Amino acid sequence: MPHALPSRLRRRFIVQAVVASLVLAIAVSIGSAVMLQALIDARLRAHTEGVWASLELNPDHVPAQTGEVRIHYVPAGAAIDSVPPELRRPPGSHAVDRFDRHVRVETRPQGSVYVDMTFSYAKQVVWTAAAMFATGGMLGLLLLSWLTYRATRRLVMPVTWLAGKVQGWNVEDPDAEPLDPQRSPGDVGSEVRQLSGALRDLSTRVRALVQRERDFTRDASHELRTPLTVIRVASDMLLADPDTPERSRRSLQRIQAAGRDMEAVIDAFLILARDADVQPQGEEFRVREVIGEEVERAQPLLAGKPVELRITGDADPVISAPPRVLGVMVGNLLSNACVFTEEGLIEVEVGEDRVTVRDTGIGMSPGTLQRVFDPFYRADQFRSGGKGMGLSIVRRLGERFGWPVTLDSAAGEGTVAEIRFSR
């Protein structure tokens, strides 16, 4: 099992550690500056109060000066020539000489006191302590980040290992053996082992399901086509017999047409049953020829109705796909148009990239139009003897081959169905 976290997580840990260290350093710097300023103000105030207390006891005695503290007293009304120019500030605390020296000026009725103090050593102590605290804090943050990284790695790496195994699956033939909990690395936790076992069971079931689907597709293709072939051959032989009565010939022709329709439906179901990555065998064909065949098959549905069925459009596109797919789609649309049109016109327009079926039938309400592609949905006006799968098959075949199907209809005004196909 790999021992490194994904690069995205590693980058996040590094960024978090750097940002936390910067925030800590800034916070320590600001806190130290505030604390140092408070210390300076406190010491200046304390020395100033001490000077005033000494002057109250002996106005002629100014406290002695030291190396860090220099005191200047100017009685009321006296000149301030004895005070250095850089200390002549208004009352309050002020920084002097690049912040190493600070002066506090206080004025009372008896005079003014100037307390000049040097804080270079105090500042050095404060900033050294701040640097040590910041360094220790950043080291602590780095240690905490490293420990968190180790803990996260122990939690995430088993899942990453499992994701890699699942990603390597072949969808067509998923192998469950790599997910056997007995073959998991030793540092994988019990939770991941349980998940691995569940995925192994799922893989086994999916593999069995895929195999059953393949077996069904193969067996259905054979078992369903065989009787239809027998029916077609038998009807061909009877039609070829000159002694067959004309009335029987019409029935045989209807049997042949129904057999062809059944073969087309079987082809559609088998195509839809295959995996989307397995493309059915196709060929180049002329769309207009397929439309002509479907129009000819639909003519008997209009027997006795004052309805004209015609093909329009000058385009004659050639596309590559199984011809029966387009035939099934157009045939279903034409069948619906013929059933629900009592008089008027059914027009099939062939364009360069589409086929449009228009009728002057009873149309559909907005509610029916929204659900018309649902499997087995039948509105009250649907009077055909089918099972309600026609338009559902049309849409599913269109989605499978990238031929979107749209319907536009209004009650009492007819319906317009359009198939756009890629070329």
- Please give the domain boundaries of the chain with CATH numbers for all domains: 7-148 (no CATH), 175-278 (1.10.287), 283-420 (3.30.565.10)
In this prediction, residue 403 carries a pLDDT of: 92
Burial class of residue 156 (count of CB atoms within 10 Å of its CB; 0-12, 13-18, 19+): middle
Query: What pLDDT is attached to residue 177?
Result: 64
Sheet holding 69-75, edge to edge: 69-75, 111-118, 101-108, 92-96
Measured in whole angstroms, the distance separating CA 159 from the mean position of its chain's CA atoms is 20
> How far is residue 355's CA from residue 312's CA, in Å, rounded to a whole number?
10
For each successive 10 residues of the chain (423 residues), what is the average pLDDT?
61 81 86 84 84 80 73 81 82 77 85 82 81 85 81 72 69 62 61 72 77 76 81 88 85 81 75 64 86 90 89 91 87 89 93 94 87 70 48 87 91 92 73
The whole-number pLDDT of residue 291 equals: 94
Distance between CA atoms of residues 113 and 111, nearest Å: 7
Task: Say if CB 328 and CB 293 are below 8 A apart.
Answer: no
pLDDT at 169: 67
pLDDT at residue 381, as a whole number: 45
Q: pLDDT value at position 172?
A: 59
